[in-house]
Amino acid sequence: MIHLIVGNTGSGKTTYSNALKKKTNGIIFSIDKWNNTLFLADKKPTDGLEWFLERIERAEKMIMDLVKQLENSNTDSILDLGLSKFEHREKFRKFAKLNDFAIKIHFLDIPQETRLNRVMKRNTEKGETFEFEVSKENFDFMESWFEKPTEKEMIGGITITEQENV
């Protein structure tokens, strides 16, 4: 099973993914961890969104190869990849369909104020799920970038409105 973890910045995707891992014994792919480990040390101040998107695309090619291997071993894949855009989620739905893999969307629909408070707290505390600081400016950008899943996307999926319901 491929689990698509969807939610805007600060919704708790990584925390949710860790809880889902315990339930499914799956493997988590967290784009924040990949970006932090593989790319952020090379980022220049002039590098913007396109720089990140190109690297995410490369990372996802590797992730898809690993997901195929996990599916062939009957191991769930938990994709904590942001998945902020319909087309990004569609890419993974098409990948699953092409390979005859089961897929489920998990949408963390958490209020903006709650998410912003979490992000600011995470920036300060730098706890378990901290990979890099998210500025208020970046948070606000993601508010306009994020596309909420459609009703059709959510058929057979799970919507989480409170983190305690993991």
> Using one digit for the tens of pLDDT, what is the confidence trace for 73-131?
999 999 999 899 999 999 999 999 999 999 999 999 999 889 888 888 887 777 676 66
CATH number of 2-165: 3.40.50.300
Bridge partners, 30 (sequence order): 80
pLDDT in tens, 137-148: 887 777 888 999
Instruction: Tell me the domain boundaries of the chain.
Output: 2-165
Question: What is the pLDDT at residue 165?
Answer: 40
Q: What is the mean pLDDT of the chain?
A: 89
**Could you tell me the two tokens for 92?**
């993974």
Say if residues 8 and 142 touch (Cβ distance below 8 Å).
Answer: yes
Q: Residue 46 and residue 156: Cα distance in Å, rounded?
A: 42
State the pTM of this model: 0.83
Question: What is the pLDDT at residue 143?
Answer: 83
Say if residues 147 and 88 touch (Cβ distance below 8 Å).
Answer: no
